[in-house]
Amino acid sequence: MKSLKYLWLIASALSIISCRQTTENKDSQLLVDNFGGEMEGKEVQLFTIKNDHGLTAMITNYGGRVVGLWVPDKDGKQTDVVLGFNRAEDYKKSTEPYYGATIGRVGNRIAKGAFTLDGEDYHIFTNNGQNALHGGKKGFQDVIWEADQTSDSSLVLTYRSPDGEENFPGNLDVKVVFTVTKQNGLRFDYEATTDKRTPVNLTNHAFFNLNGEGSGTINNHLLQINAGAFTPVDSTLIPLGQEQPVKNTPFDFTTATTIGSRVNTEDDEQLRHGDGYDHNFVLTKGNDYGRAARVVGDKSGIIMTIYTDQPGLQFYGGNFMQGDNTLKNGVPDDYRTAIALETQHFPDAVNQPSFPSIILEPGEVYKTASEYIFSVQK
């Protein structure tokens, strides 16, 4: 009996260790059993999906968030490249509400939180100065999704956004499939249907540092974006309605360039508006599925290549991070220590007829896909 007891203790210890993920810097306190709890009468859960090539993602049904993403670096060391928190309640109280989250109904900004559709005026909560951002006061990042882990490598989350939620029209049924692929990528497949015409623009808001969570500045990462133009914005970060060529501007990432090499250009009005990069890039691949961007971690050698069928990519350089939140590995989320690269339709598209439409019709299926593929530079 004693030997059985010892075996049980050893097995329990190994089980706990297997749930603990480590980052490049300090031990994470991310324990599966301690992560969740109950919110709004529903269970918050944490799921692990992985492949056989060393890529592991942990995703929670609270906000459809990527909590961590572990990939091997140039030396084969597992590195967590997505910023996140140890407990669901830490996301709830964070000063940055979008860490790793699924964003909707409408990602990015709506000017003054207002739009007109079929002759009716709609007003969305203005949570970003005078504008609505990422779905309003309670976007998809703040709801509990239904979850179904269909395999070791795939997780399906579903949510019904009722008619009138955040003042958007129509019942919207949303499905997001997270898959860790054989190509060593994390793929997002989005689907949605509605019973009334409604705007939809879904994306994921993972914050990346390819040197590892909490490893310092991302300004030395190399970034290449397949975009010959971007959409310039006003002082509130609402697009002016036209495209501007990136050539001879700090927004030219058509060849690989370090993120920080031109970010502090004092005489560039667009950089002043965003306190750095917080702009939508017009992808040159058109609406077909293709390569949107490539990022290289300067210390880790980790390469992230983004593929999407979306027309735009929002590049946010961590300009508003202030070290107010403590990450999984105990390090604060300091200024410009992560980037977001959100595949999307253009900001404020619901008010800008020259932009690709984001209106979903009843009987149609909103369907998009994006994949973040990882490799290493030796």
The alpha-helical segments, DSSP class H, found in the chain are 2-19, 32-35, 88-93, 269-274
So what's the pLDDT on residue 17? 35
Q: 119: alpha, beta or left, given left = phi > 0 and alpha = psi -120 to 50?
A: left
Greater confidence (9 vs 86) lies with 86
Quickly count: other Cβ atoms within 10 Å of residue 153's Cβ. Answer: 18
- Give the pLDDT of residue 30: 73
Q: Which residues contact 3 (CB under 8 A, 6 or more apart)?
A: none
**pLDDT higher than threshold 60 for residue 131:** yes
Across all residues in the chain, what is the average pLDDT?
A: 92
205 is catalytic: yes
CATH code (residue 246): 2.70.98.10
Q: Report the share of the chain in percent with pLDDT over 90.
A: 87
Cα separations in angstroms, 154 against 47, 64, 182, 189, 326: 10, 13, 12, 11, 29
- Whether 4 shows a pLDDT value over 80: the answer reads no
The total domain count for the chain is 1
Backbone angles phi, psi at 225, to 5 degrees: -125, 130
Say if residue 15's pLDDT is above 60.
no
Identify the residue with better confidence: 26 or 149: 149
The average pLDDT across 244-257 equals 98
Containing structural domain, residue 316: 1-378
Mean pLDDT of 231-255: 97
**pLDDT over 90 at 116, yes or no:** yes
Mean pLDDT over residues 302-316, rounded?
98
Among 225, 207, 222, which residue's Cα sits nearest to residue 337? Answer: 207
* pLDDT at residue 29 in the model: 64
What percentage of the chain has pLDDT greater than the value 70?
92
Is 371 a known active-site residue?
Answer: no
Q: What is the pLDDT of residues 252-289, one digit of tens each?
A: 999 999 999 999 877 899 999 999 999 999 999 867 89
Q: Which residue has the higher pLDDT, 70 or 29?
A: 70
- Spot the catalytic one: 205, 221, 279, 345: 205
Strands 366-376 vs 312-316: parallel, antiparallel or unpaired = unpaired
* Full-model pTM: 0.92
Question: Per-residue pLDDT tens for 38-82?
Answer: 898 999 999 999 999 999 999 999 999 999 999 999 999 999 999
Q: How many CB atoms lie within 10 A of CB 162?
A: 9
- pLDDT confidence band for 349 (50 / 70 / 90): very high
Residue 5: pLDDT band with limits 50, 70, 90: very low
Amino acid 154: pLDDT: 98
Q: Which of 166, 243, 342, 371 is catalytic?
A: 342
Looking at the DSSP bridge assignments, the partners of residue 201 are 106
* CA 337/CA 44 separation, integer angstroms: 28
pLDDT attached to residue 310: 97
